[in-house]
Amino acid sequence: MAMAIIFKTVNYTYQPDTPFEQQALDNISVEIPTGSYTALIGHTGSGKSTFLQHLNGLLRPTSGEILIGEQIITTETKNKELGELRKHVGIVFQFPEAQLFEETVIKDIAFAPKNFGKTEAEAEIIARKMARQVGLGEELLTKSPFELSGGQMRRVAIAGILAMEPEVLVLDEPTAGLDPKGRLEMMRMFKRLKEEQNLTVVLVTHQMDDVANYADNVIVLEEGKLIANGTPSEIFSQPDWLVEHHLALPKAGEFALAFEKKTGYKFSTLPLTEVSLARQIASLLHEGGGDVHHG
């Protein structure tokens, strides 16, 4: 089932008509194509979390409409109509280990599929499969989730969302608070899952390296407004614009800029990932690095 997500002039206001009124989304029109790996970036308070909560109907737009697959969400959409949508859009919230509550790991992972109508036995089969997918050993499954380490708890929580077998997987800073190794493993895992299960992935992140390495579509929010939408190479092509909006380049890009400044060499396209940076420098050296001025 195609699950393109289309926002049409969506506004969202918190506590309207009170002194605490606050517009969190301001006239947002954007499309998240099916099968894309979309990165959502922006500062704290830019409306990312509000945006996310619209993706499975936790919030409904104050005005405008959202198309997710067949479902249209407007301000009048009833809660009851959203159950079906929540099955298809899995959201991994920030620090998702806070949502664990069951007695055993396996029960916690099987919680969502059971809620969405799977039988006990079916849910357990899915839960075992997903536990394997996220790299949780068999011996952990009968333990209490509260006995596990932070990284393991995170994996349990993520497996709990994957067990819904969603078509759209939304990840809100899934690697926050993990060590570098855990971070890399987790990002690779999402990439593999996306490819194997043909997911649409929406990733909220502050790590520009992750944007450059994994995403093929970038949405930039600032104070509730959409200020840019394009591929990572489009978004990162104007360093001045990035500075103006307090965004950073991926590390490889920063290195490349410093390299250009120091050597006077101009890259044909600014490398954004370590791999492409290494390739470009390698081919440069190969062609005759003698042209590079060592200054």
Partner 1 sequence: MGKVLLGRYVPGDSIVHQMDPRAKLILSFFFIIIIFLANNWQSYVLLLTLTIGSIMAAKVNFAFFIKGVRPLIWLILFTVLLQIFFSSGGTIFWRWGPFNLSYFGLINGAYVFCRFVLIIFMSTLLTLTTAPLEIADALEKLMMPLKKIKVPVYEISLMLSIALRFVPTLMDETAKIMNAQRSRGVNFGEGNIMQQIKSVVPLLVPLFVSSFNRAEDLATAMEARGYRGGEGRTKYRVHYWHTSDTTGCAVFVIVMLILLFVRHW
The residues of the shown chain that bind partner 1, judged by CB under 8 A, are 53, 56, 58, 79, 83, 86-87, 89-91, 93, 96, 98-101, 111-112, 115-116, 146, 160-161, 164
Beta carbon nearer to partner 1, 162 or 249: 162
Minimum CB separation of residue 58 from partner 1 in Å reads 5
- On whether the CB atoms of residues 203 and 37 are closer than 8 A, the answer is yes
Beta carbon nearer to partner 1, 153 or 256: 153
- Amino acid present at 161: I
Minimum CB separation of residue 233 from partner 1 in Å reads 32
Tokens describing residue 192 = 């593999």
SS3 227: strand
Tokens describing residue 56 = 């499975």
Minimum CB separation of residue 78 from partner 1 in Å reads 11
Minimum CB separation of residue 192 from partner 1 in Å reads 23
Beta carbon nearer to partner 1, 56 or 280: 56
Nearest to 124, CA basis, from 135, 137, 113, 133:
113
Minimum CB separation of residue 3 from partner 1 in Å reads 16
Please give the Cα distance from 110 to 107 (Å, whole number). Answer: 5
Q: What does DSSP say about strands 71-73 and 89-92: parallel, antiparallel, or unpaired?
A: unpaired
- On whether the CB atoms of residues 96 and 164 are closer than 8 A, the answer is no
Beta carbon nearer to partner 1, 63 or 115: 115
Beta carbon nearer to partner 1, 109 or 136: 109
Tokens describing residue 178 = 């993990």
